[in-house]
Structure 1
Amino acid sequence: MSDAAYLAATEDQVRVLREAGHIKRQLLAENPELSGQDVLGQLDQLVIDVSEKAERVTAELVAEAECRHCGHSVMRVGDSAWRHNAAPPM
């Protein structure tokens, strides 16, 4: 892993940990008597909910098909033009 990739991965981890800490503080502010196990359970449920929402949005916005010219996979996001998922054959 290059130094730039390592730095980017570390920055992503820090961002995720900060967000988790913020969510934990929000949960405890709403209900200060939550146990650590309850907080982890609610964080797990939040991850599941957000992941399901992202999958639903992706399913609604992303369309996939087969190119009628070359037979390779093509896709589009929203109203954008159809594009090959990989470089089309030469």
Structure 2
Amino acid sequence: MDTSYVVDSTNMNTKIPSDAAETIEMVEDVEEIFIGNPEKFRELIEDAKKPLYKGCPNFTKLSTLIHLLKLKIVHTRRKSIQGNGFRVY
């Protein structure tokens, strides 16, 4: 997560995260997906609350899917970098 800030020019005491525009864009994208399908949104919220399986309170279906997607992204980037002649250690 980006922890750097920019200063609001109208109020010099207000700190705005430098990734605020990206966060707003992400929220708008999610809104477009779920605005016409509230049941899908409810399902996603329920998946975030339910344990992945009985006796596993630390992981949910949603957290597991997010972790797997993160692994896929990292692997894809690494493969792309290696394909361009760079070595990844």
> What TM bracket, shorter-length normalisation?
0.3 to 0.5
State TM-score, norm by structure 2: 0.40
Question: Which of the two has greater strand per residue?
Answer: 1
